Chains A and B, each alone.
Chain A
């Protein structure tokens, strides 16, 4: 799993990535030193829960992905076979390009997880 994350963080605009279990624990991480992995994993799992409930209430089916954009960076949270792939982006990252890489990485992570 580490190799998948290492490959992902080499993508331009990606600052870090981690895989979280559904209950918000860190399964693997490739993040810069200033990132608190445990806090990110917990927040990502809580956000996924809110997104999944919202999608369901709106009749939009299963949650697949959430993109957050802030003034100093962005993040993508993607379903990965029961686990959650959280990717931290630089401000102004090409979300289209990164999105393709995240989708592929999430599929790889899904193959390796059994949450």
Chain B
């Protein structure tokens, strides 16, 4: 019976796929999306639903398909994260799950998850960051500011936390403080157009000067000695001592020419690293995240679709940033590094980390 049902289902799917390929119509797209959803193939369901919306933007059926698929996908994502937390809790799983609830406007549930995560992982910046967003959504900017300040203390090069903190400061009528946080972003993201726009809105346009000063002197408002005093990447990794750090360190040791590696989660926070003493992992992570953000913005006018990898070649070496599930892996390499070998070992590392990030 199971075999016959599978056979009939496969046949129906093939027919619908052929019909969509031949001449896409809402009558063929809608049952195909539903079939994919029933089979648990949510990636194909989402792709097909988006295609339906693109082809038939005025169709109510297409819009409903897209909404329903998104809802099913989010529910599946929630279940996956809940199981992950029950079996092998990791700080970013709490933050991701809380963020899903926050986006669905279930703020009490989101806060409960954040607090549970913070009890176990008090040094992870993604949780106070999400708490800050929850407080902001509740219309409590003072409380939001406290949480976001804590997130920035834990990860002082985090773009999202600094940006949200600046926005909250603007809401609270504290432009000087907002400017300081925005200028801190320009340290690792010089020329960021949205930050410059916010700065212009705040003070009517001495932005270029602020950015230039920043490049020369370090973070405005922060002494160089404070930057130097931040723990190095190697120190942070040793403190964390996670299996992810071990995997990244092993990868680095196996590939000649790789000078450093940093694994950054969906919140822009470093979850593992293998760096030499000099370079701080937060700065390396912030620079990689900034490059990725720039690449993602560039990919739209270039028609590249979803971004998979960015590689920068400079006269003294390379930076390679690659998507890895919901995380990002950044590699620093010498000009002599054999890219073929890097690619091969990267695939092995991606396989080893899958399900771990």
Chain A residues with CB under 8 Å of chain B are 34-36, 39-40, 42-44, 46-47, 49-51, 53-55, 57-75, 86, 88
For residue A57, which residues in chain B have a CB less than 8 angstroms away from its CB? 188, 283, 287
Cα A60 to Cα B279 in complex, Å, equals: 12
Say which residue of B283, B302, B315, B318 sits within 8 Å of A73 (CB atoms).
B302
Task: Answer whether residue B299 sits at the interface, using C-beta atoms and an 8 A cutoff.
Answer: yes
Residues of B within 8 A of A (CB): 188-193, 215, 279, 283-284, 287, 290-291, 294-295, 297-319, 332
Partner of B305, one of A44, A50, A70: A70
From DSSP, what is the main secondary structure of chain A's interface residues?
mixed
Contacts of A49 on B, CB cut-off 8 Å? Answer: 190-191
Contact of A66 with B302 in the complex, beta carbons under 8 Å: no
Which chain B residue has the least Cβ–Cβ distance from A35? B303
B190 neighbours in A (Cβ, 8 Å): 49-50, 53
Which of A39, A68, A72 is close to B295, meaning CB atoms less than 8 Å apart? A68
Q: Are B312 and A66 in contact (CB under 8 A)?
A: yes
Q: State how many angstroms separate the Cβ of B239 from the closest Cβ of chain A.
A: 23
Most chain A beta-carbon contacts within 10 A, residue among B188, B192, B302, B305 = B302
- Shortest Cβ gap from B222 to chain A (Å): 16
Enumerate chain A residues within 8 angstroms of B301, measured Cβ to Cβ: 35-36, 39-40, 42-43
Distance A66 CA – B284 CA, assembled complex (angstroms): 18
Closest chain-A Cβ to B84's Cβ sits at a distance in Å of 26
Q: Are B313 and A68 in contact (CB under 8 A)?
A: no
Closest 8 CB pairs of A and B: A70-B304, A61-B316, A72-B305, A61-B315, A55-B314, A39-B301, A50-B294, A71-B305
State which of A59, A65, A70, A72 has its C-beta within 8 Å of the C-beta of B313: A65
Say whether B298 contacts A75, CB under 8 Å. yes
Q: How far is the CB of A51 from chain B (nearest CB, A)?
A: 5
Select which of A40, A44, A55, A68 is within 8 A of B319 by beta carbon: A55
